[in-house]
Amino acid sequence: MVEDITEDTVVAGETLTHTVTLNEANAIDQTLYFTLTEDTAIGGEDFNTTPVFTEGVTLDTETGYLTVPAGVSSFDISITSLVNSEATEDRSYYIKVRNYKTTGTITIE
């Protein structure tokens, strides 16, 4: 089960990193439902919609499920923010892993 997912805030053009902490490492691979959804940030305009995962975690884009390898108790999700010349205020998106939700915020300088 998911114990925590960190929030992150960066200036547009930088990469946001969210650390997912599980309550324990499983002895076998586990699957967790994952979503990356728009709030005020627009996918493809304010952030790259293809996340990058560490620790060998993979995403099945057809089903929306992450596969977390056996022995992994935490991993990072990185989202690259994009510079949107039309953005005039901070923008955000949501990440959800299983039932745990967090926010990524992109600030405008």
Asked if pLDDT for residue 75 goes beyond 90, the answer is yes
Instruction: Tell me what pLDDT residue 87 has.
Output: 86
pLDDT category of residue 98 using cuts at 50, 70 and 90: very high
Asked if pLDDT for residue 88 goes beyond 90, the answer is no
Average pLDDT over residues 18-36: 96
Which domain, by its residues, includes 79? 2-107
Asked if pLDDT for residue 107 goes beyond 90, the answer is yes
**CA pair distance 33, 2, nearest whole angstrom:** 11
What average pLDDT does the structure give for the chain?
96
Q: Residue 82 maps to which CATH number?
A: 2.60.40.2030
Instruction: Tell me what pLDDT residue 40 has.
Output: 96
Beta strands in 14-108 (DSSP E): 15-22, 30-38, 52-53, 58-60, 65-68, 74-80, 91-97, 100-107
Tokens of 84: 């949107």
Domain count, the chain: 1
